[in-house]
Structures are given as structure tokens and as C-alpha cells.
Amino acid sequence: MIIIMKASSTEPQIDAVEVHLRSLGLQPHTSRGTQRTVIGAIGDKREIDLERVEALDGVERVVRVMKPYKFVSRESHERDSVIDVKGIPIGGKTIQIIGGPCSVETPEQMEAAAAGVAAAGCRLMRGGAFKPRTSPYAFQGKGVEGLKMFREAAGRHGLPIVTELMDVRMLDTFLEQKVDVIQIGTRNMQNFDLLKEVGRSTHTPVILKRGLSATISEWLMAAEYIAAGGNHNIIFCERGVRTYEDAYRNMLDVTAVPMLKRETHLPVLIDPSHAGGKAWMVPALSRAAIAAGADGLLVEMHPNPPEAWSDADQALNPQELTSLMVELRGIAQVLGRNI
Amino acid sequence: MIIIMKASSTEPQIDAVEVHLRSLGLQPHTSRGTQRTVIGAIGDKREIDLERVEALDGVERVVRVMKPYKFVSRESHERDSVIDVKGIPIGGKTIQIIGGPCSVETPEQMEAAAAGVAAAGCRLMRGGAFKPRTSPYAFQGKGVEGLKMFREAAGRHGLPIVTELMDVRMLDTFLEQKVDVIQIGTRNMQNFDLLKEVGRSTHTPVILKRGLSATISEWLMAAEYIAAGGNHNIIFCERGVRTYEDAYRNMLDVTAVPMLKRETHLPVLIDPSHAGGKAWMVPALSRAAIAAGADGLLVEMHPNPPEAWSDADQALNPQELTSLMVELRGIAQVLGRNI
Amino acid sequence: MIIIMKASSTEPQIDAVEVHLRSLGLQPHTSRGTQRTVIGAIGDKREIDLERVEALDGVERVVRVMKPYKFVSRESHERDSVIDVKGIPIGGKTIQIIGGPCSVETPEQMEAAAAGVAAAGCRLMRGGAFKPRTSPYAFQGKGVEGLKMFREAAGRHGLPIVTELMDVRMLDTFLEQKVDVIQIGTRNMQNFDLLKEVGRSTHTPVILKRGLSATISEWLMAAEYIAAGGNHNIIFCERGVRTYEDAYRNMLDVTAVPMLKRETHLPVLIDPSHAGGKAWMVPALSRAAIAAGADGLLVEMHPNPPEAWSDADQALNPQELTSLMVELRGIAQVLGRNI
Amino acid sequence: MIIIMKASSTEPQIDAVEVHLRSLGLQPHTSRGTQRTVIGAIGDKREIDLERVEALDGVERVVRVMKPYKFVSRESHERDSVIDVKGIPIGGKTIQIIGGPCSVETPEQMEAAAAGVAAAGCRLMRGGAFKPRTSPYAFQGKGVEGLKMFREAAGRHGLPIVTELMDVRMLDTFLEQKVDVIQIGTRNMQNFDLLKEVGRSTHTPVILKRGLSATISEWLMAAEYIAAGGNHNIIFCERGVRTYEDAYRNMLDVTAVPMLKRETHLPVLIDPSHAGGKAWMVPALSRAAIAAGADGLLVEMHPNPPEAWSDADQALNPQELTSLMVELRGIAQVLGRNI
């Protein structure tokens, strides 16, 4: 922690900051510059509240030196982590394309979807039984019944399942239904009680989607909540952020890929479907994601998109997914990876 | 709903849209312009999914004509609603300044805070027993014990209490502890299961804070989730939104006040403390909020700010709150209101 | 300047940074912490390029200690500056409401506008002869002819004029036409050649509008370009910034008022008309601006808004301006100021 | 144009809108729905000012049906345009990587840079003689002398040059110096007088960089300003936009590539160097850009980055550029293109 004093700060104010730092177990190291006095605090700890120091008289601002995250930080674990999902690796050399519909609708739709996902060469399947919808009047998902339909259809094709947990009270049901990967959605990235619970009650892998306007640092800290509880099987998923641009639903933040790869050892996926919000954008965004170094995609595919009960306009059809896989394999190869 | 067809759309595509609209129980009304065909759908319903129509071939975009919200809309209820909290009105002619510390810390701190709040002339008190913190290593609140401390201190000074509910599993405890106003925080504005629960299990007034980058429309829809459950005692609270500007923590969106006053009949508060993030900004932002027409403030006051366990740098001290009240009363008077 | 080294930085890298700092005439002051080494550079100068230091091996990031602005900074000039426009003060105790139409249209419209502005009690008048329009097919302003119309109409009512300069080649014409206050528009806030020219070729007061997504710091630096040329008669004007919110045209950043008042000695105006983009929002935003401490407003008034050639939907009519003045006087009085 | 009336609008208000539309030469087409009346205006023209219609009583909002741009629109020109720069095509099947330093510094630096650019296999060279800098105290570029140095060094290696024009008064000099491609920078994207001048006074190809927070639509309209003057040799360049994220300088908007490819027939480049602001991010962003379908890159390369006079931390060195070219060629091949 570095404390930058105001140009107008006085000696007693500087003394008071030094006393306060010592009371926190830190060693102050004061430099009197031509324009400003700057105090470094040696022995810095992650737990110290910067705001209490900022509130002291004469302090202009406080700069954190240490990263606020620990378990998820690459400083704590240099090599890439690979998360194992029933023998399928997420992270590492192999790229995983996780396909499936936005919502679980009917047994027939799920069977057709699972067949399409498997035929395209994907090794995991996504689908939502509980749907976070902006409007209370929109379809809210098939619930537990949907979870079972999903489980059965995916099982017939040997596909582990990825599905969203919205309500902490449903965690036990998810574990009973043997959900293979729990997805924490955008709107719940800072639902801290939910994060704590998937951290301490299970080791099931968790895909943590980025909040709609979460910074990289907040996102890493949200993962730290899970890791601090004991579950280190965390996978990040960027899905577009909110900006001023209204020509597309969200803006895919492709820079998040190299940035996360530098800051954390955990795998990073991209969801190109929610980012752009239109099926015709998905191939370009998917290629960009893999080219940028993502470890995989979470991509919407529906057996018959115009009939989808939600997000009809953003799902690929099975043929489009199959064609996309060909392009992505080409790009993976350029990067020395495989799909 | 209005469907704007692409310039290149064909007659069979236009026919197919008309057939689809009729299948939804809507009457198509087609205008062939010089550049584009436009189809109006008469008999529009709130529940219809625009995306399925957008996914039809030849459709460029779909424009919603109806407001997606119902109970919270001013169209459904022309006059301003006044929410009653133990005889204290929120909304209407009287402006309520709700003061108190960020966190409940100790019985002594809460007693001093309650005394300061009452002495300044506030009629309700705020304080947090469960704290949503970016870092899992930061102070997480005193929990149920804190709720009791708060209840007792505020009770001695006749102040109803406002406090944040983060975890749906704590709702029963909040009701047992007779929390007077339940606050739903920024990070939970779209925690839909929590919204549904405070909508259907209680009639306790709810302060719904705006999400960090929520649009006005999403915010109104979040309130609609509560209202649809049966609880119409909803109070909006703007607390600054996320923008590109890094000179302050958030940007207070003062335009939200006249906009919400136009769109909804429900009361609107401002939280100037979380908006700017610095105590020295609070008086200017508070005056602006009241001048813009807000029905009140949620403002942080701590008996001894530099010793606060959270947000030390943004709380007013008791004297500052008292001085602020004087200015706010002057502004309220100019607007024909009182504090 | 403070240099934070990476956790993995080596002694030779630290040495190289120290050598580099000395070569810039700075004295390095190195603290070796438990987790990081931090190097303070004493004798810091405004001109030094942080990026060259950031590019050195082993450097994680560089934190600027000094403010990058000089002439416009309150550190360099503690008391509020008052800019004199033909005897009318901008800044200080008196608040100036500058009214007038978006565009100069006809002599009759300008006469009616000037009469309305004067009748409402405003002391300066605004109007645009050169219009920055998003579309090349929209009305581009009446040009020099419009400037003359404006000059004459305002002159008859004793009102100094404020008008926008878009093209550096028109500066001489502006000076010949004795424009009293030159406005630099949002889109030109970082048109550095234009800023330099109004800095070195004239002492005419300049209203510098904030760029659509300019930070406070960039805005102050843009003003510094003008001041560095010799023209210190600079007035800031906040006019709404670009955010994700689409319910209004821009988001008025009312927090900019207290922030600028702290950082600079120069006056600060608000343009509530361009911020919200709708006439019905103007009274609420105007009151908020004055309550937050602004030194005045730049507000659109048209003798007959629905007939305006540009921005028809955001201009007040003369009666609305007159009513607004009454409310604003009340708020000014609460703050110990006058209008 | 479609006019959506308020729920509370009256028959006389609807009549008045119809009369107004007819006065503009448009044919009103009115649908009375169950909740709202909607009026379509047939015979819509690009030039009509929506705001005057929005200002009419009883109007809730106006939706534009036609695209506001004409020459740059793909509707007006279906096939991809290829811009010829001295025999080198921009757009079409070949991808162009345009390398070079941020600033022209010395003849030696420019010779080394040109040699490096040519050796890496690039066919055009970039470099700045006039530099837009946030601070008036930072290096402002070598000016006309720099232009000559650039011309000579690039000429020796057969590389056409791309350089930024900031001041409209310098256009003649640029034409005399035979600048091959004029760059309009981010801060000048809406400097309309500059756009008009490069539109009407020359047919030299123009790279139009996206404004820091420009929407896709505003960017297309800025290009329309150039095209409307007669110069149709326009190349778009995305260079990152401003968002709330502070972990990188700007956020590369890769979605802009497929979106522009759909809306316009003109070529689209990406500047990965200014987007991320750090050299280590450039390879990942460059690969993403090409994979998304960009027609080329504008990438910073300096013979000795840590010694660069500006943007030292974001330039590749010659070896890094050469390695990057290899990866990009691989990706281009997957897409059926070549570099």
C-alpha cells in the first residue's frame, strides 16, 4: 500500500498516518518529494481496508500494491490449471466447444439438440432449466423437470451437462441430479451467498460468467469467493459487457482473454451467443475468441432456432454449428492446439 | 409491436410474418413504403417474445410499442403512491432523509449513530448487518447479532429500520426481527429468486437499489417481479451507475429522478454516499437529488467516520448531517415540499 | 512518480529502473517490501513520459503522483477565478443563466429569442451559427450570415453572445464579429489545433464543453492546452456524458461540479438541454445543477420550439424559461448566491 | 419513419401529426391499436428531422425506418469495395498489415523502422508526424520535417505511407508531400469541417478511425460526410472504445468487424496497438481481428520500443512483428484469404 499525501498535508498529518500504519502492523517508509509526500507501507496484507487509510486527514489517495486475489492468482500458481469434467479436460491444449439450447423445452427438443451437439463433435452440452429473464411475464424455465430431461438426453449421447444455478436453495437438487458443471450466470456474479455456497458445499466445477459490467478485478475476486470456500474447480466465461453501443446486445471483450491468461491460472471460455445476441455474428466472434487464446466456447445451438422458447434469434442450427467447428479446428491448429 | 422488414425482404417472407402474428392472436397491419415494408401488430400483449419474431426470415428489427411493465407503470396508476412505514410516509409531499452507518459494528456505535440520526431530524435509520463486499477477506457484517443490535438502538430512538437482505434464506429472520424496510442491494437487483420471494412472502416495504449498470427499463422490470408477487410497497433508490469516469466511484444519475417520476407512480430515493464514494461530495449530491425531485435520501452517517469498519471515507459525521439537513430543508421549501 | 515492480522482478531490473530515473534527473527512492519492490522518483516533472518507464523490464505499473495540469489547477491558484464578459461576471457569487436557441434561423426568430432571454432575466445569450450535426444531410447552420443576425438581435437587448467555433479557419471571423464568448463544442474538446489557436490568438473567454466521454482529467488537460497558449479565460461546461443508458440522450454528470470545484479555480456551467435531450427534463436538471454548485447554465430556449430547425424537442419556450428562473433564484438563495 | 403516440394522446393530436407529415410530403398511415396509435410515414426521406416530429404534442417517440447513411451503405453497393493505394489493394481477398512507429523521430529510426516493416512482409507503413497528445507538455510530433523523413525512409523500401492529419490547414501540405493514405484520428472522427475537406478536396484514400465512444451509426455517418463530398476511398479502422474497464486502455470492439461488414461495402481495419495499449496484448488482439474478418491491421512497430518517444509500452519490435505475421498468415489461410 502506498499513501500519497495532499500537497497541503502537514507534518502532524504525516505523523498520524505513520502511527496508524504501525497500529496495523505495517512499517511506514516515507519519502518527502518536491511536490508531495509519499508513504509506503511495508508488510502489506490483503485484508487491510484501504478506505480507512484514505479517510485519514491529509491523505489524497491510496494505491494498492498487492493483488487483492490469492488462490486464483497466477502469482500463487504459475502453470495453467486444467479442470477435469468426467475425464474431459477444460484448459490446457485441448479446446472445448460446449453447445446446446438456451432453454430446456421438451424431451424431443433435448434429444434432437443432444444428437446435434454430439454429431458436431462437441464433448459437453449446455442448456438452461432455470432461466433468468428480465420480465416476470417471460418463460422462466422448466425447473427440476427440465433438469431431468436434460440429464437423460445428454446421457444418451455421453455428454456431461452444464446448467445454470440461480437460487442457492436449489444447490442440493443440482447435486442430486449430478449436474456436471454448475454455471453461475452474469446477474449472479456478485451474489456472494451463492458463491460461498458453491465454494464450500461441493467440488463440482463452476463456470463463473462475467457480470454485465464487472471489471476483471471484480470478476477475479468473485472467483476468489468460491476458491476461498475450498472449491478450486473454477472456469471463467466472458459473455460480452455493457457499453454505450446499441448496435449489438453486448460488446464481446476479447481483450479479457489475454488479460485473464496473465492474471490467473484458471481456464477461460467465451460465450459468443450472448455477447452479440444474433446468430449471424456467432461464427465471427467464435473465431476471434479461439484466435485470442480462449480455452473453449459456450455456444447456443437449437434444433430449430425460430421455434426456440427463448433467445430464438441467437441460436445456431445443427448444420451451422458443424460448419463452425471446421473453421475453429483450423484456427486451433495454427495456435498448436486441438478441438 | 412493429416489425420493420429488410429492404431485401420478399413477399413470401412478409406473408410468413403475417401468418406468424395471426398465430399469436395478433392482427397484422402492413404498410408498404418506398424503401421498407412495416408491419404493425394490433392486439399486442406484454407476454409475447419479440425474439421469436425477430428470428423470422426477412425481418430487420422489431420495435416494442407497449411498455413491458404493468403494476409499476404510471399508466396503470396515475397518482403518486405513498408507502407507509409505521406511520411515516415515503413519497408524497414530505421528503425523508434516512441516515445511518454503512455497517452495524457494536452496541455503542449503534447507540451513538441512532442518537445522531434522531438529533439531525431524520425519521428512519439505515445500517447493514449483512455486507456485500468485493473481497471475501473483507468484513462481511455482524449478521443476525447485528440485526438485533440495530433493532434495539433504533428502537430506543423511535426510528424504523432499513437494512439489506442478501440471501433469500434469511428472509424469515428479517421478518421475525421485524425489519421495517427491506433493502435489495445493487448486486441483487436481478437476483430474480430473491425478488420473487420478497414479492410473494411479505408486504414489508422494499427499497430496490438500481443495479450498477441497470437501465431504467430493467430496473422497472425488476420492481415488476416484486409487484407481480403481490407486494406493491416498492421504493426505488438510485445510487450511482458505472461509467468510464474514474475520478469518482460511480456516477450519480440525477436524470433518473425525473424519468422515474414520469414512468412510475412509486417513490424514488437517492443514495449520495455510495454514488460519489467520498464524504466531501455528499452535500452537493444530496442537494442536487432533492432539487431534482427525489422523495428522499439514504445517506451514510457514522459517529466517528475514520473508525468505521467499512466505507470509512464516505460517511458524514453527526454534525455534517445536521448541517446538510438545514440546506435540504431550504431546497424542499422552494419546491413546495417539506423535510 | 512511483514505480511498482513485478513480484518476479530481478535486482538488475530494479537497478536499470534506478539508472533510467537518474538519467531523467530524478532521484530514485527504493523500498523493498515483502511482496513487491516500489521505487519513488523524487524531483518528478510534469513533462516526463510515464510510458517509457512502464516499458522497462520488470515494471508492473507506474503511478503518477503529481497532477498533470498546472495553470488550471487549484493548487496553482487557490481562489475561485471570475471571468469577466463585458462587465458580466462568470464565476463567483452570481449565477449566470445563458439562454437562447440551438440554431440561428431568421432575424425574426432571433429578435423574439433575444427579447425572451432578456425578459426572463438572463444576462447573456447563446445561439449556434455553425452546427455540428451527426448527418451531412441535416441543417448545418446559417454560417457567417447567422453570426451577424445573432450579433444584431442580441445587441438590441444588451446581451453579450456565446457561440460555437468549429473550424479553426473561422477564428478570425469570430474575432471580427466580436463574439463575446467562444464555445468549443463536445466533439472538439480534443481538437488540439483548435485549442492551441484559441489559446494563443485571443483572450476572448472560452466555454469548453466536455467531450462525450471525456474524463475529468482529460477535460482539465484540454483546458490546459488553451491556458498554456496564454488565454486563461476558460469556463467549463458539463453537458451530459455517454453511458449505456438509452432512456435519455446523455447522462448529466452532476458529480463533475463538486469535483471540478475542487480541482480547478475556473467557473463551471451545466447545459441541461443537451444532457437530457428533452425539454420536460430541463427544469429538474437545471435545479440539480444549481443545487450542486454550478456557476450557471447554458439552456436552450426557442420562441416556438416545435418550429425549431434543430433540437426542436429540447428547447424551453419563453414562459418555461421565466418560470424556471424563479425556482433557480430560490435555490441560489439557499446557497447564499444570487441569479 | 414510424410515430408512436402516447397512450393518452387525443384525436386532435393524431390529426395534427398527420397534417405535419403531409406538409413534409409524406403520406401518413395510421393504425389504432388496443393500447397505442401508431402512424407510419410513407415516402420517408433521409433529410427529415425526427426531432421536430418528436416535439409534436401527444407523440411518445419516433422510430427511424430508413438507414441514415447512403453512399457508405451496403444497401447502395452490394459488393465489397477495394481501395487501391498505389497498386496495393485494401479490402478484398488480401489482408494488409500496416506497420510502423507511433511517432516519426529521426532519419535513423525511420530507416530502421522501414527496413523492419518491409522485412516482415508488410506492404504499407504507418507513422505520425503530428501527434494528438492529451497533455500540451508532451511531445507533439516532428511536423512537416517528420513528414519528409517518413516519405524518404518509406520510399527507399517501396512502402506507401499512412499518416494522421489533425489540422485542416495542413491538408495542402499533405497533398504536396504525396501522403498515400490520410488518417483521421479518433479525436477528430466528428471534426466535421476536416471530414468535409478531405471529402471534397482530394481523392486520396482516408482511414477513418472510430471515435473513442462513437456508435457504429455515428461512425458510418462520419464516413458519409467524406463520401458526400466526393471522396469514396474510405477505410474504417476500429481501435478500441472507452468503457468502464480499467484493466486495459481501451476495449477492442471485435464485434464491429462483422457488423460493419454487414452495413457497409468499405474495408475495415483494426488497430490492436492503441486498443490494448500494451505490446504483450498485440498478438492475441491481432489474431482475433483477422479471425473476425478484418481486412487488415494498423500495428505499431518500433526498432527499439523502450526508446520510443511516445507509446513506448505498446510497440512491437521487428522480431515480434515478423513472428506475428506467421500466425496471421495461418489464420488468413483458414478463412480462404492471404496476407
Residues A119 and A6 grouped into a single domain:
no
Q: What are the counts of helices (DSSP H) followed by strands (DSSP E) for chain D?
A: 11, 14
The percentage of chain C sitting over the pLDDT mark of 70, rounded to a whole number, equals 99
Nearest to D161 by CA among D51, D298, D47: D298
What is residue C310's predicted lDDT score, i.e. its pLDDT? 82
Residue A34 reports pLDDT greater than 80? no
Interface of A with C in 31-70 (CB under 8 A): 31-36, 38, 40, 42-44, 63, 65-66
In a domain, A130, yes or no: yes
Domain end residue (candidates: A21, A44, A63):
A63
Q: Categorize the per-residue pLDDT at C44 as very low, low, confident or very high, splitting at 50, 70 and 90.
A: low
Residue A46 reports pLDDT greater than 70? no
Residue B176 reports pLDDT greater than 70? yes
Domain end residue (candidates: A21, A38, A63):
A63
Between strands C96-100 and C124-126, the pairing is parallel
Burial class (CB in 10 A: 0-12, 13-18, 19+), C225: buried
Q: Which residue of A has its CA nearest to C3?
A: A65
In a domain, D215, yes or no: yes
Residues D86 and D12 grouped into a single domain:
no
Contacts of B244 in chain D (CB under 8 A): 213, 242-244
Looking at every residue in chain C, the average pLDDT score rounds to 94
Residues C52 and C110 grouped into a single domain:
no
Tell me which residue in A217, A280, A287 faces D292 most closely, judged by beta carbons.
Answer: A287
Tell me which residue in A247, A259, A285 faces D248 most closely, judged by beta carbons.
Answer: A259
pLDDT in tens, D205-217: 999 999 999 999 9
In a domain, D68, yes or no: no
Q: Are C258 and B285 an interchain contact pair (Cβ–Cβ within 8 Å)?
A: yes
DSSP conformation class of B299? E
What is residue A196's predicted lDDT score, i.e. its pLDDT? 97
Supply the ipTM of this predicted assembly.
0.94
What is residue D64's predicted lDDT score, i.e. its pLDDT? 83
**Of the listed ranges A285-289, A297-301, D38-42, the one predicted with least confidence:** D38-42
How far apart, in Å, are the Cα atoms of C20 and each of A32, A337, C11, C48, D58? 20, 41, 14, 12, 67
For the segment D335-339, the average pLDDT, to the nearest whole number, is 97
What is residue B269's predicted lDDT score, i.e. its pLDDT? 98
**Of the listed ranges A75-89, B12-26, B181-195, the one predicted with least confidence:** B12-26
In a domain, C176, yes or no: yes
Domain end residue (candidates: D40, D63, D86):
D63
In a domain, B339, yes or no: no
Residues D8 and D128 grouped into a single domain:
no
Q: Categorize the per-residue pLDDT at A47 as very low, low, confident or very high, splitting at 50, 70 and 90.
A: low
C193 touches chain A (CB under 8 A): no
How far apart, in Å, are the Cα atoms of D227 and each of A202, A258, D182? 60, 37, 14
In a domain, A68, yes or no: no
Alpha-carbon distance of C291 to C288, in angstroms, equals 5
Q: Kindly state the cell numbers that stand for A86.
A: 468426467
Q: Categorize the per-residue pLDDT at C309 as very low, low, confident or very high, splitting at 50, 70 and 90.
A: confident
pLDDT in tens, A49-68: 777 888 889 998 888 887 88
In a domain, C339, yes or no: no
Alpha-carbon distance of C51 to D314, in angstroms, equals 9
For the segment D297-307, the average pLDDT, to the nearest whole number, is 94
The Cα of C134 is separated from the nearest Cα of chain D by a number of Å equal to 6
Residues A56 and A159 grouped into a single domain:
no
Top residue of B218, B239, B255, B331 to mutate, by most chain C CBs within 10 Å, is B255
Tell me which residue in D139, D224, D313 faces C54 most closely, judged by beta carbons.
Answer: D313
Q: Which domain holds residue C249?
A: 74-334
Burial D88-111 (b: 16+ CB within 10 A, else e): bebbeebbbbbbbbbbbbeeebbb
Q: Within its chain, how far is the Cα of C200 from the centroid? A: 18
What is residue B81's predicted lDDT score, i.e. its pLDDT? 97
Q: Are C243 and A246 an interchain contact pair (Cβ–Cβ within 8 Å)?
A: no
A275 touches chain D (CB under 8 A): yes
Residue A35 reports pLDDT greater than 80? no
Residue C91 reports pLDDT greater than 70? yes
Alpha-carbon distance of C113 to C316, in angstroms, equals 11
Q: Within its chain, how far is the Cα of D239 from the centroid? A: 8
A78 touches chain C (CB under 8 A): no
B280 touches chain C (CB under 8 A): yes
Residues A316 and A280 grouped into a single domain:
yes
Between strands A234-238 and A268-270, the pairing is parallel
pLDDT in tens, D177-234: 999 999 999 999 999 999 999 999 999 999 999 999 999 999 999 999 999 999 999 9
The Cα of A335 is separated from the nearest Cα of chain D by a number of Å equal to 8
Residues A156 and A296 grouped into a single domain:
yes
Q: Categorize the per-residue pLDDT at A191 as very low, low, confident or very high, splitting at 50, 70 and 90.
A: very high
The Cα of C291 is separated from the nearest Cα of chain B by a number of Å equal to 5
Alpha-carbon distance of C27 to C47, in angstroms, equals 16
Q: Which residue of D has its CA nearest to B32?
A: D42
The percentage of chain B sitting over the pLDDT mark of 70, rounded to a whole number, equals 99
For the segment D124-144, the average pLDDT, to the nearest whole number, is 93
Residues B81 and B37 grouped into a single domain:
no
pLDDT in tens, C288-308: 999 999 999 999 999 999 888
Pick the residue with more confidence: C265 or B52?
Answer: C265
CATH number where A57 lies:
3.30.70.1140
**pTM, whole model, 2 decimals?**
0.95
Element containing residue C88 per DSSP (H, E): strand C88-90
Pick the residue with more confidence: C53 or A87?
Answer: A87
Tell me which residue in C51, C228, C310 faces D313 most closely, judged by beta carbons.
Answer: C51
For the segment D306-321, the average pLDDT, to the nearest whole number, is 90
For the segment D245-265, the average pLDDT, to the nearest whole number, is 97
Contacts of B313 in chain A (CB under 8 A): 51-52, 54-55
pLDDT in tens, A209-240: 999 999 999 999 999 999 999 999 999 999 99
Looking at every residue in chain A, the average pLDDT score rounds to 94
Q: Categorize the per-residue pLDDT at B252 as very low, low, confident or very high, splitting at 50, 70 and 90.
A: very high
Residues A58 and A79 grouped into a single domain:
no
Q: Categorize the per-residue pLDDT at B55 as very low, low, confident or very high, splitting at 50, 70 and 90.
A: confident
pLDDT in tens, C217-263: 999 999 999 999 999 999 999 999 999 999 999 999 999 999 999 99
What is residue B66's predicted lDDT score, i.e. its pLDDT? 79
What's the CA dihedral at B10, B11, B16, B21 to 10 degrees? 110
What is residue C82's predicted lDDT score, i.e. its pLDDT? 98
Residues D55 and D27 grouped into a single domain:
yes
Contacts of D74 in chain A (CB under 8 A): none
Pick the residue with more confidence: D56 or B211?
Answer: B211
Contacts of C293 in chain B (CB under 8 A): 284, 287
Question: How many structural domains compose chain D?
Answer: 2
Distance, first Cα to last Cα, chain B: 44
What is residue B46's predicted lDDT score, i.e. its pLDDT? 66
C136 touches chain D (CB under 8 A): yes
Residue D49 reports pLDDT greater than 80? no
The percentage of chain A sitting over the pLDDT mark of 70, rounded to a whole number, equals 99
CATH number where D122 lies:
3.20.20.70
Residues B112 and B231 grouped into a single domain:
yes
**If you write DSSP's letter for every residue of C208-251 in order, what string do you get?**
EEPPTT--HHHHHHHHHHHHHHT---EEEEE--B--S--SSSSB
Contacts of C134 in chain D (CB under 8 A): 68, 190, 218, 221
Pick the residue with more confidence: D64 or C188?
Answer: C188
pLDDT in tens, C119-157: 999 999 999 999 999 889 888 999 999 999 999 999 999
Residues B277 and B190 grouped into a single domain:
yes
What is residue C47's predicted lDDT score, i.e. its pLDDT? 67
How far apart, in Å, are the Cα atoms of D203 and each of A194, C118, D90, D100, D178? 60, 49, 15, 24, 12
Residue C35 reports pLDDT greater than 80? no
C63: left (phi over 0), alpha (psi -120 to 50) or beta: beta
Q: Kindly state the cell numbers that stand for C223.
A: 483546458
Q: Are C168 and D166 an interchain contact pair (Cβ–Cβ within 8 Å)?
A: no
Residue C45 reports pLDDT greater than 90? no
Q: Are A291 and D293 an interchain contact pair (Cβ–Cβ within 8 Å)?
A: no
Nearest to C189 by CA among C161, C159, C223: C223
Alpha-carbon distance of B76 to C102, in angstroms, equals 36
